[in-house]
Amino acid sequence: GDQVKQSPSALSLQEGTNSALRCNFSIATTTVQWFLQNPRGSLMNLFYLVPGTKENGRLKSTFNSKESYSTLHIRDAQLEDSGTYFCAAEAQGGRALIFGTGTTVSVSP
Amino acid sequence: GALVYQYPRRTICKSGTSMRMECQAVGFQATSVAWYRQSPQKTFELIALSTVNSAIKYEQNFTQEKFPISHPNLSFSSMTVLNAYLEDRGLYLCGARDLDSYEQYFGPGTRLTVL
């Protein structure tokens, strides 16, 4: 619930544009994962982050543990980027992931 | 690569009956398996976390009596929804944590419909 706040809840993008999603954490977070869920429900792993930044193609993600947030940047959005993006935090103590509420991204021509 | 299979993908059961779902990690050893339920509004609820050689930890609002879990080895887990009712509907996802990389991989889910 409130432990991982994800924003925005929905995002409409035109092809070729850039955008960013954000998660703020109210718990001490050791690692962050980002997923993309397709309409059938399958969760695809995008990033697994310790504090720092990773990049994969048009996606880049940062996890700042000191300021308790993570971002996912989408560059040059394509139609296949549409779906629901979730961040998930692993709290100290190694418990299961705590999910954000998701960002539904729609990319249009 | 690391894959997680879930079976069945969809199931329909009558109110008051029970159904069992399975989770299989392939290509990696799973140090822990977490079961989640995703509501139609897409919010995730953690049901329980099962770690090898440790007791299964259930979250508030979920009990072993209602959602018994078996985790016999590093690659397989099953969960049963006992005496299912309408509020148990949803997509049940299992996430398995890789023993080596600590990254968590999810199966495609079992979608439960209760009539």
User: Greater confidence, A50 or A94?
Assistant: A50
pLDDT over threshold 90, residue B50: yes
The pair of three-digit structure tokens given for residue A97, joined into one six-digit string: 């992931």
Please enumerate in sequence order all residues whose Cβ is within 8 A of that of B44, keeping only pairs 6 or more positions apart, or say none: A86, A99, B36, B37, B38, B93
The rounded Cα A74 to chain-centroid distance in angstroms is 10
What is the predicted pLDDT for the residue at A1?
54
Residue B41 pLDDT level (bands cut at 50, 70, 90):
confident
* B4 vs B95: CA distance, rounded Å: 8
Residue B49 pLDDT level (bands cut at 50, 70, 90):
very high
Taking the Cβ of residue A6 and every Cβ of chain B, the question of whether any pair is shorter than 8 Å is answered with no
Within 8 A of B43 by CB-CB distance, chain A residues are 99, 101-102
What is the predicted pLDDT for the residue at A12?
97
Q: Please report, for chain A, the start and end positions of each structural domain, with discontinuous segments joined by +.
A: 4-103
Strand, coil or helix: B94: strand
What is the predicted pLDDT for the residue at A93?
74
Question: How distant is the Cα of B82 from the closest Cα of chain A, in angstroms?
Answer: 23
Binary contact (B44, A95; C-beta < 8 A) = no
Structural domains of chain B, ranges and CATH numbers in brackets: 3-114 (2.60.40.10)
Q: Looking at residue B20, what DSSP letter applies?
A: E
Question: How distant is the Cα of B14 from the closest Cα of chain A, in angstroms?
Answer: 23
Nearest by Cα to A72 from A100, A93, A95: A100
pLDDT over threshold 70, residue A98: yes
Residue B74 pLDDT level (bands cut at 50, 70, 90):
confident
Taking the Cβ of residue A84 and every Cβ of chain B, the question of whether any pair is shorter than 8 Å is answered with yes
Q: Which residues on adjacent β-strands are paired with residue A64?
A: A69
pLDDT over threshold 70, residue A82: yes
What is the predicted pLDDT for the residue at B52?
78
In chain B, pLDDT over 70 holds for what percent of residues?
100
CATH topology of domain A4-103: Immunoglobulin-like (2.60.40)
The string of pLDDT tens digits covering residues B77-111 is 999 999 999 999 999 999 999 999 999 999 999 99
Task: Report the helix count and the strand count for chain A, using DSSP H and E.
Answer: 0, 11
The pair of three-digit structure tokens given for residue A78, joined into one six-digit string: 């394509």
The string of pLDDT tens digits covering residues B53-69 is 788 999 999 999 999 99
Kindly report the average pLDDT of chain B as a whole number: 94
Binary contact (A45, B42; C-beta < 8 A) = no
Buried b (16+ CB within 10 A) or exposed e, B100-111: eebebbbbbbbb
Taking the Cβ of residue B44 and every Cβ of chain A, the question of whether any pair is shorter than 8 Å is answered with yes
* B109 vs B115: CA distance, rounded Å: 19
* A78 vs B100: CA distance, rounded Å: 33
In chain B, pLDDT over 90 holds for what percent of residues?
87
**Contact call for residues B5 and A42 (beta carbons, < 8 A):** no
